Structure 1
Amino acid sequence: MHQIQATLATIAAALDEATDANPVFLATPDKADVLARLEQITARVAELRLRVIASAQDVAEEVGARDVAAWLVAQHRVESPAAHATLRLARELETRPVVRARLAQGRFSLEHARVILRGLDDLPDDLPAEVLARAEVTLCDLAGEHRPKDLRRLTSHLLEVIAPEVAEAAEAEAIRRLEETANANATLSITDQGDGTTRIHGIVPEVVGHRLRTYLQAYTQPRIAALEADGKVQPRSRLLAHAFAQLLENTDPTRLPAHGGDATTVVVTMTLDQLRAGLGVAWLDDGTPISTGETRRLACTAGIIPAVLGGNSEPLDLGRTRRLFTPTQRKALALRDKHCRTEGCTVPTAWCDAHHDQPWSHGGHTNLAHGSLLCGHHHRRAHDPNYYTDRSKNGEYRFRLRNNRGTFSTDMSSRLPST
């Protein structure tokens, strides 16, 4: 009889003797000792099983199976993914004699062994043999002192411990490969949904995602300003969507790459009467319709070209981005306004847009006397035809919702100017 068969027979006989033994009669220190010894025995039996699996290809060939993992699935109803993962682990242990020996001694668990093997596989391929050997011993020593989760974290700093002279170069190469893969996998799709929305889906390198997140956070309103009309806090996903819109609107088009022989611009077309009356719709250069209120709001901050047409559809004016407030003007507005100029709103100037108090279509100018800082929420209100805009004596904005009859939804209409 082979030694392995004899060992298994001994284990089976011993287990038979303990089948009816009740652990409740063990003293507490004895229970602790039994549990510790069972952990060791479990690891040792697991190693023995893996050692046999690694050499059992002939068992699979005997019945025409592809490998011993397929044999386990067919003969012992083992789940296929688990069986093949076990076979891979058995083959990996064959190439790591120190890990296999320590597991056979019950020095650590099978999960520890998996973490060690993964950590060794993640090391650079061109490391000297003596460094790899030192790494294997070091991880096996650490496994006796740390949980698998903690050991997994330590493997990322392994080279810094065993070979600091090559750690920096290896880390740089690993990062380079990671970035190369990220750039190769980058993708972005922009799909119109047909309901007034566009779905944007993308996978970008981590550094790009970090930069976008940082930019959007600069536009995200403080919690006090992130409330819906009913007082509920807006979802963060919605705040980020609005912040993304603000980021695009505040991008300087003169700094974008040339597009079709000219700086990239967005052209909005509408008639002069529509712009002045706030009625009807405008069209982007790809035919997308937008409201006149949205057009006016965009004209405050975005680098758009409003192509205003006369009665015969001839261009009356092609606006220029000098309608945008300059950085110097924004600083002056910030010093003057301190925060959003809406009554009761304290959103700081860093999160505000520069708004034209008098629209361009009505002779407004881009200067300090005709400008105010409004947060994104109130800037949309200022250009929303469903709201009436009023100014207090100290210049603060106030908004009142109109009802369906064009009058005001409150009894304050008697003291508000007529529209």
Structure 2
Amino acid sequence: MTYQEATAARDTLAGAAEALRSLAASLPFVQGDEIGEVVAQLAQVAAATRGALASVAVEAQARGVVAESGCRGTVAWLQHCAPGIKDSEAAALHRAITATGRRGNAPLREALCSGEATPSDAICAAETVDELRRATDAALHDAFAEGVAELSRAQASRAVLREYRTEMLARFGTEQSLDELHAHQQARRGVTAMRPVAGGMWRFEATLTPAEKAAVDATLTALSAPRRDAVSGAADERSPAQRRADALVSVFTKVAGHGQAGPLGASTRVTLILPVEALHAPCPHRTCDIFGIPHPGQEPCDCPEPVAAHDDLGTALLPGDTRRLSCGADVSRLYVGAQGEPLALGRTERCATPGQRKALAARDGGCTFPGCEAPSSWTQAHHLVHWADGGGTDLDNLALLCQRHHTYVHQQHIDGHVGPDRTVHWHTSWAGGHWAPDPGPCDQLSPPAPDDRAA
């Protein structure tokens, strides 16, 4: 291209930008069968623009324009020239230019500058080429770079790139390089500590090897499959993420139920630090605003005020969480007074003994909540009358519930009983698209008397 041609191309940019801005206003005049063509044309323009921007940034780096501008680097220079470019977009473009500039990545650089590969795709592709280059014979490196570039031009997903990488490593990886890759993966694997997030929730992240991912994924996939309500026929309304969370908690709860100990002797069972008032239910006579302040004009009452509890790892628990956790988990309970002084140490006890679990499995067959078909191996033993309210750990006061419905009956305050036919009957009805508790008096719940806390 000559200088005159380059100048003419630049002159068309202003008109092209104006045409794009006016396109939205003209859409009502576009025929219905032409809208798809407009989308295709816009996609071509977007790809060409993306590639041209990458080419300009590469040229600016090569000529020293970025260095002479006084900007800190390419990202700052891009944003100085075009303030509308977001930080993440400028950073991704800079990373893509750097990654495709490494030795042997010329095909990827061409795909980036032509707009056929997005910056994020080019980065992922370059990382794939680098991994293959480290693990295979040098004679194959150019072929790998070209193969990955072709996948990028075809807009292949990252899953396809990962599959290509794994296949090439299986075919051409050397034993030493694969051992090094395994050691590298082992060094990177890990699980972060729990950290608080908004809304009183907690989050952690895991980085796993492919073999570990396969084992974890198989378990979570099996346990998180959506379950249609067998009675009402209603679909499982939980999101995939919520179903996986229920599955994950079910796995951990099952391990805790075996009473295993860690390498230093710490138990997998939860230890609850319980103030005397920790298990009081919210007062049914008063309503509060979002700050917990009672609305004016309400009659005073003598209901005890519930307080928060926590476990021995420092996790703060609302009264509802405390009751739900103590109902289904193996726990040690330490009661404390108003100043935090220990009052009595409750013994660690299982909600149901192994013999009771077998009897419950034979009696209930699985989750007893209406419409649920979860097998007994996925369930927990639930106290129909909470131990805090004097309920005993015997078969007439126990019912099997899956993790999902164990949480649900506590959230919805649904009661149940074991009938003369040895069947669990839940006091709930299908109404308004969900299971709701049957109307009835709301009993005030309270913790056990002090004399009953000691083992």
TM superposition score normalised by structure 1 = 0.54
Hey, what's the Cα distance between the residues in 2 that align with 1:405 and 1:86? 63
Hey, what's the Cα distance between the residues in 1 that align with 2:377 and 2:391? 27
Match of 1:353, SS state, is strand
Hey, what's the Cα distance between the residues in 2 that align with 1:292 and 1:150? 44
| 1:389-408 correspondence to structure 2 within 5 Å | 389-396=416-423, 397-399=425-427, 401-403=438-440
Hey, what's the Cα distance between the residues in 1 that align with 2:77 and 2:371? 74
Q: Aligned in 2, Cα 1:152/1:74: closer, same or farther, shift over 3 Å?
A: same
5+ residue gaps, structure 1 = 1-6, 16-34, 407-419
1:199 deviates by 2.0
Hey, what's the Cα distance between the residues in 1 that align with 2:250 and 2:348? 19
Corresponding position of 1:123: 132
Match of 2:400, SS state, is strand
Q: Aligned in 2, Cα 1:168/1:186: closer, same or farther, shift over 3 Å?
A: farther
Listed one character per residue, the Cα deviations across residues 335-356 of structure 1 (whole Å, up to 9, x for unaligned) are 3322444566554434432245
| 1:318-333 correspondence to structure 2 within 5 Å | 318-326=346-354, 329-333=356-360
Q: Aligned in 2, Cα 1:241/1:226: closer, same or farther, shift over 3 Å?
A: farther
Match of 2:204, SS state, is strand
The structure with more radius of gyration:
1
Match of 2:187, SS state, is helix
Hey, what's the Cα distance between the residues in 1 that align with 2:207 and 2:201? 20
Match of 1:186 among 166, 188, 192: 192
| AA at the equivalent of 1:222 | R
Q: Aligned in 2, Cα 1:91/1:221: closer, same or farther, shift over 3 Å?
A: closer
Corresponding position of 1:338: 365
Mapped pair 1:257 → 2:259: no
1:398 deviates by 3.2
Corresponding position of 2:204: 202
Match of 1:157, SS state, is helix
Listed one character per residue, the Cα deviations across residues 251-307 of structure 1 (whole Å, up to 9, x for unaligned) are 137313277987754246587xx99xxx96695566967659964x65553111356
Mapped pair 1:111 → 2:131: no
TM superposition score normalised by structure 2 = 0.50
5+ residue gaps, structure 2 = 10-40, 281-302, 337-341, 429-437, 444-455
Number of aligned pairs? Answer: 352
Percent of matched pairs sharing the same residue: 18
Q: Aligned in 2, Cα 1:176/1:382: closer, same or farther, shift over 3 Å?
A: same
Hey, what's the Cα distance between the residues in 2 that align with 1:305 and 1:119? 50
Relative contact order (alpha carbons < 8 A, sep ≥ 6): 1 or 2 greater?
A: 2
The answer to whether the 8 A contact 1:159-1:166 is kept is: no
Corresponding position of 1:147: 154
Hey, what's the Cα distance between the residues in 1 that align with 2:81 and 2:411? 72
Hey, what's the Cα distance between the residues in 2 that align with 1:260 and 1:124? 46
| AA at the equivalent of 2:262 | P
Corresponding position of 1:373: 400
The answer to whether the 8 A contact 1:216-1:244 is kept is: no
* RMSD of aligned alpha carbons: 6.3
1:200 deviates by 0.5
